[in-house]
Amino acid sequence: MSSHDLSLSRRIRQTPFTNKAEEHGVSGFTVVNRMLLPKAFKKSIEEDYWHLNSNVQIWDVSCQRQVQITGPDAEKLVQLMTPRSIKNMKVGKCLYVPLIDENAGMINDPVLLKIENNKFWISIADSDVLLWTKGVAISYNFKVNIIEPEVYPLAVQGPKSEELMVSIFGEKIRSIKFFNFGLFNFLEKKQVIARSGYSKQDGFEIYFEGYEAGEKLWDTIWKAGKKFNISAGCPNLIDRIEAGLMSYGNDFTIENNPYECNLGKYLNETSHNFIGKSALEKIKIDNINKQMRGIIFDENPCPTCSHPFPVYSENNEKIGQVTSAIYSPRIKKNIGLSMISKKYWNKGNKLIIETPEGKRRNGVITSLPFPE
């Protein structure tokens, strides 16, 4: 870790795969849920993007921590935390669920897994869901046990991921549908394997349970992956923006409601009771005044968007800010994600994006995900 200028301690946690990522040339990390997430490897983001589009990659996404809820009131508690109905959720299913607070502000946008009746995993983005969940459970006197289990997701992403996974875990892999999971043996232990992942490619997430055997799992995948031209990677910014996948804390925060985040499509059945219900109903009636959009914009590859880029209308009104942006070698333009004021959010509307060099670039609103 010495070369990465990040002093590690128990507060900034390594993963079972950190040594492997280092062995395979990781060149930088970020921190999510107080755990390391590889951010870049030796190859450029663009090279990695093309590789991900036609091969298979292994990603250490252990920072997608699980909040495990077990006990007789587990389902009640989970349902109280999200406006998305889980009434018909079956064991083996994953659901993308907004978690909201009493003002309908986004607490997190996790993937929910029903592991057993009375056992759920909430696979979280970067915010303190464990503490929120414990607080809610206490105030409602629920009979539940809430922990962060020893589960470290490892993603296998890309069009060749199915063939690779079949070669290790068998033909049963093929029958896992998108956002479902099955149980598979690895070294005598059952592991949850889902068809999901933070990319628009086909892919799997192994919710690896344990710690010590993590390197063995990585090595097994790596060895089998050689003939599929595997490489070590991480969530790819070009692919993520093209897919319209948002990142909590960056593209939206607790200040935003699910409708602003385009998550309204998951909220068609909201007759159940949940925290933030009256606030959410009010928003639905009063309507929202901004929403997440894709933007395509001109000129040379834009700089890293570590600070939001302001967005203006053609008559120079501030109408939003780009929070994720990068040059897409496929679209051959810069692409970005931005909340945009209602008056200007229609597809095809023209706008101006100001990047840090002081450049004003012409842009246009597009649909999400970005068009093929």
Backbone angles phi, psi at 207, to 5 degrees: -85, 80
Q: Which is nearer to ligand THG, 123 or 324 (CB)?
A: 123
Binding status of residue 92 toward ligand THG by CB under 6 A = no
Nearer to ligand THG, 153 or 363 (CB): 153
| Residue 196 found at the interface with ligand THG (CB under 6 A) | yes
CA neighbor of 61 nearest in space, from 205, 262, 263, 268? 205
Q: Which is nearer to ligand THG, 197 or 233 (CB)?
A: 197
The interface region with ligand THG, picked from 6-14, 77-85, 109-117, 210-218 by CB under 6 A, is 109-117
Token pair listed for 137: 């459970």
- Residues in region 253-282 near ligand THG by CB under 6 A: none
Is the alpha carbon torsion for 94, 111, 19, 59 positive or negative? Answer: positive
The partner residues of 153 in beta bridges, in order of sequence, read: 207
User: What is the closest distance, in whole angstroms, from the C-beta atom of residue 266 to ligand THG in the complex?
Assistant: 7
Name residue, tokens 């070009």.
238
Cβ atoms of 22 and 234 within 8 Å: the answer is: no
Give, for 205, the enclosing helix (H) or strand (E): strand 203-209
Q: Does 198 bind ligand THG (CB under 6 A)?
A: yes
* 179 part of the interface to ligand THG, by CB under 6 A: yes
3-state secondary structure 94-106: EEECCEECCCCCE
Can you tell me whether residue 251 is helix, strand or coil? coil
What mask of x and - would describe binding to ligand THG in positions 200 to 229, judged by CB under 6 A? -----x------------------------
| Nearest distance, CB of residue 160 and ligand THG, angstroms | 19
Per-residue binder mask for ligand THG (CB under 6 A), 308-347, x = binder: ----------------------------------------
CB of 49 to ligand THG, least distance (A): 17
Rounded distance between C-alpha atoms, residue 331 and residue 371, angstroms:
9
Q: 107 with 132: CB under 8 angstroms?
A: yes
Distance CA 60, CA 156 (A): 9
Is residue 245 close enough to count as binding ligand THG by CB under 6 A?
yes
For ligand THG, give the closer residue by CB, 196 or 231: 196
Binding site for ligand THG (CB under 6 A): 64, 96, 109-111, 123-125, 153, 179, 196-198, 205, 245
